[in-house]
Structure 1
Amino acid sequence: MYDLTGFQRDLLYVIAGLEEPHGLAIKEELEAYYEKEIHHGRLYPNLDTLVEKGLVDKGQRDRRTNYYTLTRRGRREIKARDEWEAEYVPEDFEA
């Protein structure tokens, strides 16, 4: 996961937290988090990169709608990232 951008990492986490989300659902979640509009020209190329890296599978719901799911590798990468973060930020950390 070290070679992903922060945006790509956020995409992975959103996909992990939703049930087979389509692009618009992912976009809406990220817009709520970032508090600004996410353009299609940013979203879909980054989703395609995650597919190409083998972290995300892209399926087709109908002719116009794709959905996204994590691959096993994508789930392993998130777990490894969580473990790495836990080395530096303990569970009882208070901000």
Structure 2
Amino acid sequence: MFDLTAFQRDLLFTISGFEEPHGLKLKRSLQEDYEEEISNGRLYPNLGELVDRGLIRKGKLDDRANTYQITREGLRVLRRRRQWEERSVPDGLVGT
């Protein structure tokens, strides 16, 4: 949980919100909230690392695009992270 980068966690959260998004859909979704440009050189190596770690699965959309799906282990990591955040943030700060 703590050995993921913030960007990798954001990827996991984003992937979990879609059924089987492709890379460009993930990039567009994240780009809405990121101030800096998300390059393919940043996106795809991080997706590859999440696949290698068993947190997401990679499928094939067509000859040019892959799809990504969060695994049970990926969901477990996200749940643990959310629980840690809820314990760590004082009640008065949530939602302010």
Q: TM-score, normalised by structure 2?
A: 0.92
Q: What is the aligned residue count?
A: 95
Q: TM-score, normalised by structure 1?
A: 0.92
How far residue 89 of structure 1 moved from its aligned partner, in angstroms, is 2.3
1:72 and 1:56 map into 2 onto residues whose CA distance is 9
Large movers: runs of 4+ above 6 Å: none
Structure 1: runs of 5+ lacking an equivalent: none
SS at structure 2 position matched to 1:34: coil
SS at structure 2 position matched to 1:67: strand
Q: In the TM superposition, what are the counterparts of 1:34-45 in structure 2 within 5 Å?
A: 34-45=34-45
Structure 2: runs of 5+ lacking an equivalent: none
How far residue 88 of structure 1 moved from its aligned partner, in angstroms, is 1.6
- Could you say if the C-alpha distance between residues 33 and 64 of structure 1 is closer, same or farther in structure 2, counting changes exceeding 3 Å? same
How far residue 90 of structure 1 moved from its aligned partner, in angstroms, is 5.5
SS at structure 1 position matched to 2:80: helix
- Could you say if the C-alpha distance between residues 5 and 87 of structure 1 is closer, same or farther in structure 2, counting changes exceeding 3 Å? same
Match of 1:70 in 2: 70
How far residue 36 of structure 1 moved from its aligned partner, in angstroms, is 3.1
Amino acid in structure 1 at the alignment position of 2:26: I
1:2 and 1:36 map into 2 onto residues whose CA distance is 23
